[in-house]
Structure 1
Amino acid sequence: MKRAAVLAFTGTGAILGLRIRESLASGWNVTVFVPERIRQQADREMDLEVLQPDGRSWVKENWKSYQGFIFVSATGIAVRFIAPCLADKLTDPAVVVVDERAGFAISLLSGHVGGANELTWELAQCLGATPVITTATDVEGIFAADVFARKNGLRIGNRSRIKEISGALLEKKPVGFFCEYNVEGKLPKGLYSVTQREKLEEYEYGIMIARNDRTVCSLCKEEKHHILHLIPRDLVLGIGCRRGTSAERILEAVRDGLQRLGMEEARLGALASIDIKAEEAGLLMAAERLGVSFCTYSAERLREVQEVSRESEFVRSVAGVGNVCERAAYVCAQEKSNFKEVKKIEMLLPKTIYDGVTLAAARTEWGIYFE
């Protein structure tokens, strides 16, 4: 569940903040923060948290802890609070400003990837406010590659190309679209389907979504071709390890496995193992460093996967299942698919043994959707 902080600075703003908390969809966990004087003046039953006196420092300290900040204030106040925190349009949280009378909801920061535009629309509908959205692609009704990537669970391989693709579409230049995954929906205006990767060379601007990173040729790096590389997070690594195995050793195995597959680290969606490894420090730290989730499953659930390359009687005696890594990769890949009904899981790398680590890789089914 996403976390949002509502910052209000008056009694009227606090009441509106509580209304926002009650109105937002269930996907948001909203906390309302107010200055101490407002908290003291408010009814004790009002669920309000105290904002420390130096509110700007609090925002800076908690910038990465919330996916959204909603200021019930003047826009200038919000700008001054967030200015020291700004880093990157692809990593900054959503920031929305709502005036105390709920007349306007303004998407202030991270409209696309951060989701501020969507949050603004949602707030406007809940509060009866007028949404104010100023991103060029939204104003002109143009395809936004960063929004498309976020909604389809794609990582961006070369960030600088986002702006170039948007600029090309705004200037009505054609953009080639090459995808090796199943595509549903109609391509937006300005995008042209390309069935062969080499055909992208006919376009100055393009978007590539390939199944194997080895097929991503130097085209994505050439200055004369502006090709945006989008990467599905369709790869899951199942891992078994001895107790106390370090994160460094696990990461060495992960990187070797990725190299064997010709896959980029950005393609990795999750690490998976058996539930008795749920608190294994090395696995938890490895997942954190990779920026992916760590999923664990019971031996009973893993035994539902019957076909594996080989079994270990020793591992079976300890864990209750003779091949942890392949089964964990398979089960996790089923869960991580963005398909409504998963029909096929591809085992790309069978059980591979390292020093204290076993590793297997599975690819889940992935779909690309245009609204």
Structure 2
Amino acid sequence: MSLQLEEHVIPDINVKGKYAVVAITKHGTQLARKIFKLFPDSDLYYMKKHAQGDEEQRGITLFEGSVRLLFPSLFAHYQGLIIIISLGAVVRMIAPILKDKKTDPGVVVVDDRGEHVISVLSGHLGGANELTKEVAALLNAYPVVTTASDVQKTIPVDLFGRRFGWEWESDEKLTPVSASVVNEEKVVVVQESGERNWWMHDTAMPANIHLCSSIDEALAHQPAAALVVTHRLLEQQEEVILTNGVLYRPKVIVLGVGCNRGTAAEEIEQVMEDTLKELKISMKSVKMVATIDLKKDEVGLLEVVRKHQWEFIYYSPAELNTKTLVQPSDTVYKFTGAYGVSEPAAMLASGNDELLLVKKKSGNVTISVGLISYE
């Protein structure tokens, strides 16, 4: 594919992968071709005058004119950009199209000889730091990462728990809390639930980071900042911890659900919301919905699962009957072959027989709530 770039035309691009590799010089093109060959899920763009004859066969996009005109389209469609152009030129070209670190792609610059790989933009949220290290490893080059938390080997507040799917309740305090972490002020990490293996460095945790099992314990430290990991809705008196704190929601809640055939998605979702509110649990901490295999095609249930992008798992009656139930039902057994649906499904999916809610029936929906525990 070949593009003729003109000042008044937004060029089409050939998006197949998550990453774009871009070059404009002869040596840069050779390096870009090497990266394209070794780096999975990437697309390659370079100038037509450096064509080598195999571009169409390999799905490489050629262009003519100013590479600057490519960047708005690349920014809109790729997760990361690997650019083999001088750092200063790249900075000038992308400056007018920068929007926000939460939406801009990760940008990595490689020098023309492939000796240095530099993380330029969206180091954490855009994944540029990790991309830098991956590309550097491929080229046997030196990775240049200047983000303070990476250099100091401490907690990257904006990435904390991201690999596990943890969500922020709010990003309002990300910057000041990050400042407290890298400036070695007293910082507490309160973890009530979620994965425990979040420390990502091969060095000991810095002395300014204190691990606490409760908010009361954390407040006793009189910290400058806090990272709070819990599925609970905080009590009003606990919210003082968030004065300079970030609240993370780990994916630890399993909803076991049974419902009558044809139950509307709106009713199912409302029962879920009401139940979690009663239990003082955040919807953001829901990881999956579990049920019986008879409900694997239940339209309303599937609609709710898709809407929230939750995992969906179902079990056979024989699997459900392996669990000893607090409230077995002969009526349910008569229609399904299982002595219960929501209760054993929540147990099986959470790996925990001690449920936060054994069973509640509301209208056409029965719900149980399980908690995934991590040692």
Query: Does TM, scored on the shorter chain, surpass 0.5?
Result: yes
Can you list the C-alpha shifts for 1:50-107, whole angstroms capped at 9, x where unaligned? 48997446435535xx4x4434445545875696473443x65533333454232222
Q: Offset at 1:348?
A: 1.0
| 1:86 corresponds to 2:103 | no
Aligned length: 344
Can you list the C-alpha shifts for 1:18-76, whole angstroms capped at 9, x where unaligned? 5435545xxxx51324379589854268532548997446435535xx4x443444554
Aligned twin of 1:165: 177
Instruction: Name the stretch that deviates more: 308-317 or 350-359.
Output: 308-317
Superposed, 1:182-201 pairs within 5 Å as: 187-194=205-212, 196-201=214-219
Aligned twin of 2:316: 299
Provide the secondary structure at the position in 2 that maps to 1:213.
coil
Which structure has the greater CA radius of gyration? 2
- Structure 1: gaps (5+ residues): 335-343
TM-score of the superposed pair, with normalisation by structure 2:
0.75
| 1:271 corresponds to 2:289 | yes
Q: Offset at 1:286?
A: 1.9
Q: 1:84 to 1:273 in 2, by over 3 A?
A: farther
Aligned twin of 1:338: none
How far apart in 2 are the matches of 1:301 and 1:45? 54
Aligned twin of 2:357: 349
Aligned twin of 2:43: 32
Identity, in percent, stands at: 26
Task: Give the conservation status (yes or no) of the 8 Å contact 1:71–1:96.
Answer: yes
Q: Offset at 1:360?
A: 1.6
How far apart in 1 are the matches of 2:93 and 2:327? 60
Aligned twin of 1:285: 303
Aligned twin of 2:239: 218
Can you list the C-alpha shifts for 1:103-160, whole angstroms capped at 9, x where unaligned? 3222233322443212211211111122121212223444322333324543222322
How far apart in 1 are the matches of 2:299 and 2:50? 41
Task: Give the conservation status (yes or no) of the 8 Å contact 1:302–1:324.
Answer: no
Q: Offset at 1:166?
A: 1.8
Can you list the C-alpha shifts for 1:252-283, whole angstroms capped at 9, x where unaligned? 11111211210112212222334454444433
Task: Give the conservation status (yes or no) of the 8 Å contact 1:142–1:189.
Answer: no
How far apart in 2 are the matches of 1:256 and 1:262? 10
Give the one of 155, 173, 195 matched to 1:143.
155
Q: Offset at 1:347?
A: 1.2
- Structure 2: gaps (5+ residues): 1-16
Provide the secondary structure at the position in 2 that maps to 1:198.
helix
Q: Offset at 1:17?
A: 4.6
Superposed, 1:221-240 pairs within 5 Å as: 221=242, 225-240=243-258
TM-score of the superposed pair, with normalisation by structure 1:
0.75
How far apart in 2 are the matches of 1:96 and 1:311? 58
| 1:6 corresponds to 2:26 | no
Q: 1:322 to 1:304 in 2, by over 3 A?
A: closer
Task: Give the conservation status (yes or no) of the 8 Å contact 1:92–1:110.
Answer: yes
Provide the secondary structure at the position in 1 that maps to 2:345.
helix
Q: Offset at 1:169?
A: 2.9
Give the one of 340, 359, 362 matched to 2:367.
359
Provide the secondary structure at the position in 2 that maps to 1:347.
coil
How far apart in 2 are the matches of 1:39 and 1:317? 72
Provide the secondary structure at the position in 2 that maps to 1:330.
helix
